[in-house]
Amino acid sequence: MNTRENYYIDAVAGRYERVFPLARYADAVDLGDVESVRASLSSNLWFRLSDDARRRSMIDKVAKLKPAVDELCALVRLGEPSLEVEHLSIGGSYLYCDDQAAVNDIDFNVIVRGSYFDYYDVYDIDFLGDSLTNPIRKISFTVFGASNVFQGTTINDRVVRDSYVHTDVTIREGLVFGWRNATLLGPTFSAIPPHLPNLLVRIDRQLYQARLLEEGRIGLDRGRKVRQAKAANRITEAALLLAEAFPHIRLPQRKFLAHRELPENGFNRPLLRHLREKVSEYRTRV
């Protein structure tokens, strides 16, 4: 916990090294071409590990947002018209959630030219209309500057939400652009291996946040079911990232993918304990 009463900070689980670029651009995506969308998702860990039906669902989620792309970019420029959007992608769990299941939000990652960072929610989302496959409450934008992602230009990118302080958000998100994001506009990301010490810090921070969510120490206004779902998502992603970076570990990735919420005994389960042990082990090696 940091010095602010009742606030927790993710940096207690480790600090990132400043190693750049965090990601590299690849080919642009054409949302009107199913095969282009499929190719753009080929390095996405959830897409690769899913069956054909869920893959078709992911492709549909991306393609259906095509009519909304211009409005989404307009929202990014609403407060600062000079911003030049060069990339827009889905960066959260909306992509791989069950069709028709209620989802809290869609997280959009945006890259604009220059040095920049901002994070905000938008609740006026009627314009999305038929572009959605699932009911949502809001959309969220995390806007990064290209020079911060690719050259390492320093910027204040701290975000405080739900009694939790997120630090180094640019590094945290940029590390996994190639393995997680679904591109809607501009170039996709190549699946270059992330800097391993930083990836392990990210995984450790995810497990730390998941534990706080599970124990009800953060996100108190979300309700237990929502917190449990968010914790399960954090754990699943941690397992997928670790297994991708260290394939010889042979973590049962599909077992983690099968969890939509945490069981009552939470982090004491052997599967989760094994994950934490492996994270600790490899942080001493790299």
pLDDT confidence of residue 18: 96
What is the average pLDDT across 107-117? 98
Question: Please, what's the largest Cα pairwise distance for the chain?
Answer: 51
Question: Can you name the residues that pair with 119 across neighbouring β-strands?
Answer: 142
Mean pLDDT of all residues in 85-91 = 97
Asked if 49 contacts 240 with a C-beta cutoff of 8 angstroms, the reply is yes
Q: Give the residue-averaged pLDDT of 37-54.
A: 94
Residues 6+ apart with CB under 8 A from 229: 260, 261
- Phi and psi at residue 179, in whole multiples of 5°? -100, -10
Quick one: pLDDT at residue 58?
Answer: 96
Q: What is the DSSP letter of 284?
A: T
- Per-residue pLDDT, averaged over 98-102, amounts to 80
User: Higher model confidence: residue 143 or residue 3?
Assistant: 143
Looking at residues 49-54, what average pLDDT do you find? 92
**Total length of the chain:** 286
Provide the strand spans (E) within 50-181. Answer: 85-90, 103-112, 117-122, 136-145, 159-161, 164-166
pTM above 0.75, yes or no: yes
Per-residue pLDDT at 266 exceeds 70: no
The domain segmentation of the chain, as residue ranges, is: 19-192, 195-281
d(C-alpha 104, C-alpha 91), whole Å: 14
The pLDDT value given to residue 3:
45
The 10s digit of each residue's pLDDT in 189-247 is 998 889 999 999 999 999 999 989 988 999 888 788 888 888 888 988 998 898 888 88
With CA atoms as reference, report the closest residue to 75 among 23, 124, 113, 30.
124
For residue 285, CA distances in Å to 200, 202, 240, 247, 282 come to: 11, 16, 19, 15, 5
Residue 133 pLDDT > 60: yes
Q: Inform me whether the pLDDT recorded for 250 exceeds 80.
A: no
